[in-house]
Chains A and B, each alone.
Chain A
Amino acid sequence: MDAPRVTIASPAPRAVIARASGWRLAAFRRDRGATLAALLLLALAAGAILAPWITFHGPDEADNAMRYAPLLSPGHLLGTDQQGRDMLARLLWGGRISLLVGVAPTLIATAIGLALGMLAGYARGVTDQIIMRSLDVLFAFPMVLLAIAVAGTLRPGVSTEMIAITIVLIPYIGRLARTATLSVVALPFIEAARAAGGAPVSIVLRYILPNVFGPILVYATTLMGLMIVVGSGLSFLGLGVQPPTADWGAMVADGRVVLRRAPHVTVLPGMMILLVSLLFNFLGDGLRDALDPRRRRQ
């Protein structure tokens, strides 16, 4: 049995609902790591969005007299790169692209992959075969190669990069969603829901989705960090953003030739990628725990 509980005197269903969702937020707040991660990510996103207004230098503004300025140089808090461009400004501007490329395609691919995976896992039969074999075709190509192929057929740019990454991710998430769906569908409560007359749509949305969402969410958040790197790779190959505009990955690539002379040019954007990946992971764990009623208490 559970800990002693407080009884609410007035039986108002609205309060019941409010309590249920209130718990969710409270549970998330109780998770200090996840809350901190969420706040840091918000701060980073705010910095990226507000970049034009909070930086003293343009991202592409080269100052030849100030090349290779180290950290904490006057006027350049995080130093400059080999062309004398302000690192702080470039990191914030680059974050606009990197965060967008990391987050948006992953979210879109998660939505599509979840829908396809759940449909395949619940419907089985021919539908399952058609969906999964189609995804297998995409799956057969190495991730980066496929992204290059997709991006190569479109005009280079941020939107191309995002489309390519979305397509690349769908089979990964679809597959996981299908597997998770299969294991949930085998549980007796699905049969009970069918015996209670539940329509397929409501069974999928109310019974399967909440039970597969947790693992998918955690997986998706781990992918966000990885996708920042893939996006950078595409930029590096000239299929994503074009120089002098740079995302974090492109900055790493740029800096690697002067790694010995000015390590901060490479290390700073590299650390941003690492930090954001980690933060997304913490956030994903926290969200999963907050969404799963079995983990919610204590």
Chain B
Amino acid sequence: MSSADDVVLEVRDLRTRFGAAHGGIVAVDGLTLQLRRGCTTALVGESGSGKSATALSIMRLIDPPGAIIGGSVRYDGRDLLSLDEIAMRHVRGARIGMIFQDPLTSLNPALSIGGQIAETILAHETVQRGVALQRAVALLERVGIDHAASRAADYPHHFSGGMRQRVLIATAIACNPEIIIADEPTTALDVTVQAKVLRLLHDLQQEMQASLLLITHDLGVVATMADDVAVMYAGRIVEYADVDSIFHRPRHPYTQALLGCMAGIEDDRQAPLEPIAGAPPDLRALPPGCRFAPRCTQALGSCQQQEPALQRLSATHHAACLRLDAMVDG
């Protein structure tokens, strides 16, 4: 999407399978993505479209019998997929921080808040436990926890959901990573808390000049946070563009349909939301041709036969649709 030295992480043709080799499903099927330094890339899509699978693949946290079955993840001149487990461990948490969806269950109930953050620091740096704890307190302050010094000794059940998500963010940034992956970081939170957590995430990302991969299904979040947007459908990217193009000049029928589902406050209340008919395809029995064709209002006969590849429309805009010419400015 831009010059090569700007790219911190490059995912190419990533394919990930959940379940056994026979009878499993390919949750991510040929995904290509770039994270630019200091920029936020949003990965959008319905549940089950492979967003989280993509994040877990980048972190190499796919549990057997599932496996990453193809592609590469280039970071810092190396392919993360070919690193040995110990080298990969030094990437996780240290170079790439990850924030999970459910703050209520993503913290160890038996370890104090400060202790958990310190644990991450100790995993990557040879410092004294006391030093790590001191840094944990500083991190808690940085993510906006009041009385951080005394609260560091508290346990997760003493914290509210929003505060726990702040703790998870503190853990993710503990070692100053270049990349932060946030997997639906606000889905489990109240709307008011959501805004604060996103604000925090945004500020930290700016401050650290880190790249943020934000996984979400909330287009409102995308509009306020993202620089680049990748829209996923059934394990593939169907449209990949800068945020303005996605919202103002969407070219893929699925992106257009997603925007049609979005409720805006200024919208004319008379115009009803337009849900997308049908359901995402069963990954075990994919339709032939374009995966979105069965639900697409623009589909032709040829869409059922040929699978469209991602096409370059401009330097910052790519889409995978056979009818791109007909879909101008939807």
Q: Which residues of A contact B (CB under 8 A)?
A: 1-2, 5-8, 10-14, 16-17, 19-20, 125, 187-189, 191-199, 202, 206-207, 210-211, 292-294, 296
Contact partner of B92 among A5, A6, A17, A197, CB < 8 A? A197
- Contact check, A191 vs B100: say whether CB atoms are below 8 A apart: yes
B322 close to chain A: CB less than 8 A: no
Contact partner of B149 among A6, A11, A194, A195, CB < 8 A? A11
A207 to B155, CA, bound (A): 13
Q: A196-B92, A293-B112 are in contact. List 10 more A-B contacts (CB 8 A).
A: A7-B147, A11-B137, A11-B148, A16-B112, A19-B153, A192-B107, A194-B92, A196-B93, A196-B172, A210-B111
Interface code B301-325, partner A: CB below 8 Å = 1, 0 otherwise? 0000000000000000000000000
B206 close to chain A: CB less than 8 A: no
| Pairs A–B under 8 Å by Cβ, sample size 17 | A10-B149, A11-B134, A16-B133, A16-B149, A16-B153, A19-B153, A125-B64, A188-B102, A189-B109, A194-B92, A195-B98, A196-B119, A196-B120, A197-B91, A197-B92, A198-B89, A202-B123
A210 to B109, CA, bound (A): 9
Interface code B99-115, partner A: CB below 8 Å = 1, 0 otherwise? 01110011111111011
A217 shortest CB reach to chain B, Å? 13
Instruction: State which size class the interface on B falls in.
Output: 35 or more
A8 to B124, CA, bound (A): 29
A195 to B152, CA, bound (A): 21
A293 to B158, CA, bound (A): 10
B61 shortest CB reach to chain A, Å? 6
- Contact check, B108 vs A206: say whether CB atoms are below 8 A apart: yes
Contact partner of B108 among A7, A8, A19, A189, CB < 8 A? A189
List of B residues within 8 angstroms of A207 by Cβ: 108, 110-111
A125 to B105, CA, bound (A): 25
- Contact check, A292 vs B110: say whether CB atoms are below 8 A apart: yes
- Contact check, A188 vs B150: say whether CB atoms are below 8 A apart: no
| Minimal Cβ-Cβ distance residue in B for A196 | B93
A11 shortest CB reach to chain B, Å? 3
Q: Which residues of B contact A (CB under 8 A)?
A: 59, 61, 64, 89-94, 97-98, 100-102, 105-112, 114-115, 119-120, 122-124, 130, 133-134, 137, 147-150, 152-153, 155, 157-158, 160, 168, 171-172, 174
Name A's interface SS.
Answer: helix
Closest 8 CB pairs of A and B: A11-B149, A197-B93, A210-B110, A13-B133, A196-B93, A293-B155, A197-B92, A195-B98
- Contact check, B110 vs A192: say whether CB atoms are below 8 A apart: no
A187 to B105, CA, bound (A): 7
List of A residues within 8 angstroms of B149 by Cβ: 8, 10-12, 16
A292 to B119, CA, bound (A): 19
A296 to B110, CA, bound (A): 11
| Minimal Cβ-Cβ distance residue in A for B93 | A197
- Contact check, A196 vs B133: say whether CB atoms are below 8 A apart: no
A173 to B157, CA, bound (A): 28
- Contact check, A197 vs B123: say whether CB atoms are below 8 A apart: yes
- Contact check, B110 vs A211: say whether CB atoms are below 8 A apart: yes
- Contact check, B123 vs A16: say whether CB atoms are below 8 A apart: no
A296 to B157, CA, bound (A): 11
- Contact check, B124 vs A197: say whether CB atoms are below 8 A apart: yes
Given A194-B61, A194-B92, A206-B119, residue A1 in contact with residue B160 (CB < 8 A): yes
- Contact check, B123 vs A13: say whether CB atoms are below 8 A apart: no
A191 to B105, CA, bound (A): 10
- Contact check, A195 vs B105: say whether CB atoms are below 8 A apart: no
List of B residues within 8 angstroms of A196 by Cβ: 92-93, 97-98, 119-120, 123, 171-172, 174
A211 to B133, CA, bound (A): 22
- Contact check, A20 vs B110: say whether CB atoms are below 8 A apart: no
